[in-house]
Copies of this chain bind each other. A is one copy, B any other.
């Protein structure tokens, strides 16, 4: 059977820019566009040239895409002026876009109340604007704003808006659930009625997650015949977000009812980079990845219950609806308070720490993990700290050095010329194992942890060569209020610039500096261990 082609239209850089807390720089846009192109998406909507300086600059030239069409968003011309006298539309036509997606109102109520024009004037604006895009040799699309609410109120007019754009030469007309309130059974019915009258291979679907149904609404529309899907990476977007491409793509490629009927531009190889792409976007936005995200979340293939964990080790396929590797994710049997021996054994195996499952040290390790997690440690993320803990129980970790004392000082004062300045300094006293003289190091930093990190890594004697290329690249703090007293948990991410490797370590204490220091020490010890440094 020949598969039908589905076209994927990404609007991360346009509708996704409406996300609360998100503000893309032009560099962000360039990086994310390259990422999306690498995934194999068909259209990348980059923004709204003419509406703000970033988008205008971004659309001044076309990024070097492998295959995606560079798409600009804007509005159809205003009623009562010609295409050539509409500066918004002219800015779009002057851009380097391959395709132009115009938005117009499809709900007669909004035509009347928000635009204050007649239904016919709105149709004329649509026809003229689409024709103007087509005349420049570009692909034209129309986003029908509030299509579903409009269709419920006046189906004939909503259809007429869509038909007008198609007749004017639009490649695609997109049915938008602008306020996100339409439910799957309604999408199924309405899209079914629309595709009885208009060609589905020229229709798209654009949904929002206000009822938690953006993905289901998209799938329902595809089953009713539409062939273009709009969405965003990680479900960015105004309010509750747009349809999540990171969820839709694996469903379309891996779930048989879709995979056997349809094909997209996303290859199986590209699909295996999906988890990575999702995390890169979070990193660019400095957002914590959503652990529970379908397919790509850290927890998407995680099992905590001891009883399930042992079953999964025997027979993963019946417990996992798709193989985690297919989306570049991995199975996780969590080390946690509820962990059974199976989970700990699986973690050890992943770390290459073979252990006999009846070894009594497994139980003492499990007991310590449980006690530490009760105190606030989190080993699910901080695998480097878990590995150190496990090795200390099973095979031992060399004692490379010990810190005798440290002092951190932060002072805000008026300097000699009367300016208010803040200085941070740290002093650390270290004994390298096997040497009798203490190493004293001091450093300034732009804050106390930075100063402490600097002082600690300034001089570790004969280990220095192993740590010269590492850097603290992320630092996260949480206040835990589980017990009688609040404690601070610090997660430190370290990167080795020589190898590109990254690892996470954890520290917990009522004192943020102590907690940070513990995580920094784990990070250095982990690096020395992996480098094969030899303790005296």
Residue of B whose beta carbon sits closest to that of A186: B257
- Could you say which residues of chain B place their CB within 8 Å of the CB of A478? 286, 476
Does chain B have a CB within 8 A of A482? yes
With A181-B322, A286-B479, A411-B405 as given contacts, are A338 and B422 in contact (CB-CB < 8 Å)?
A: no
Q: How many copies does the complex hold?
A: 2
CB pair B215–A319 under 8 Å, yes or no, is no
- Could you say which residues of chain B place their CB within 8 Å of the CB of A409? 407-410
CB pair B292–A209 under 8 Å, yes or no, is yes
With A298-B20, A448-B512 as given contacts, are A411 and B422 in contact (CB-CB < 8 Å)?
A: no
Does chain B have a CB within 8 A of A98? no
CB pair B299–A514 under 8 Å, yes or no, is no
CB pair B510–A412 under 8 Å, yes or no, is no
Does chain B have a CB within 8 A of A354? no
With A412-B406, A447-B488 as given contacts, are A424 and B209 in contact (CB-CB < 8 Å)?
A: no
CB contacts under 8 Å to B, within A218-236, are: 219-220, 223, 235
- Could you say which residues of chain B place their CB within 8 Å of the CB of A21? 291, 336, 378, 380
Closest-CB distance, A482 to chain B (whole angstroms): 7
CB pair B448–A448 under 8 Å, yes or no, is yes
Does chain B have a CB within 8 A of A347? no
Does chain B have a CB within 8 A of A157? no
CB pair B240–A422 under 8 Å, yes or no, is no
- Could you say which residues of chain B place their CB within 8 Å of the CB of A114? 311, 314-315
Identify A212's interface contact among B244, B302, B305, B408, CB under 8 A.
Answer: B244
- Could you say which residues of chain B place their CB within 8 Å of the CB of A412? 403, 405-407, 514, 517
Does chain B have a CB within 8 A of A325? no
Closest-CB distance, A178 to chain B (whole angstroms): 8
Does chain B have a CB within 8 A of A84? no
Does chain B have a CB within 8 A of A391? no
Identify A319's interface contact among B179, B220, B235, B449, CB under 8 A.
Answer: B179
Closest-CB distance, A510 to chain B (whole angstroms): 4
Residue of B whose beta carbon sits closest to that of A488: B447
Residue of B whose beta carbon sits closest to that of A109: B318
CB contacts under 8 Å to B, within A478-517, are: 478-482, 485, 488, 509-514, 517
Does chain B have a CB within 8 A of A210? yes
Identify A448's interface contact among B25, B290, B481, B513, CB under 8 A.
Answer: B513
Q: How many residues from A make CB contacts under 8 Å with B? A: 114
CB pair A318–B110 under 8 Å, yes or no, is yes
Does chain B have a CB within 8 A of A10? no
CB pair A294–B408 under 8 Å, yes or no, is no
Does chain B have a CB within 8 A of A466? no
CB contacts under 8 Å to B, within A367-407, are: 373, 378, 380, 403-407
Closest-CB distance, A212 to chain B (whole angstroms): 4
CB pair A239–B20 under 8 Å, yes or no, is no
Does chain B have a CB within 8 A of A67? no
Closest 4 CB pairs of A and B: A181-B321, A216-B216, A477-B477, A20-B299
Q: List 10 A-B contacts (CB under 8 A).
A: A19-B304, A20-B292, A179-B319, A185-B257, A186-B257, A211-B215, A212-B214, A239-B299, A446-B485, A447-B509
- Chain A residues at the B interface, C-beta cutoff of 8 Å: 17-21, 23, 25, 107, 109-110, 113-114, 146, 149, 178-181, 183-186, 209-217, 219-220, 223, 235, 238-241, 244, 247-248, 251, 255, 257, 286, 288, 290-295, 297-305, 308, 311, 314-315, 318-322, 334, 336-338, 373, 378, 380, 403-414, 422, 424, 446-449, 474-482, 485, 488, 509-514, 517
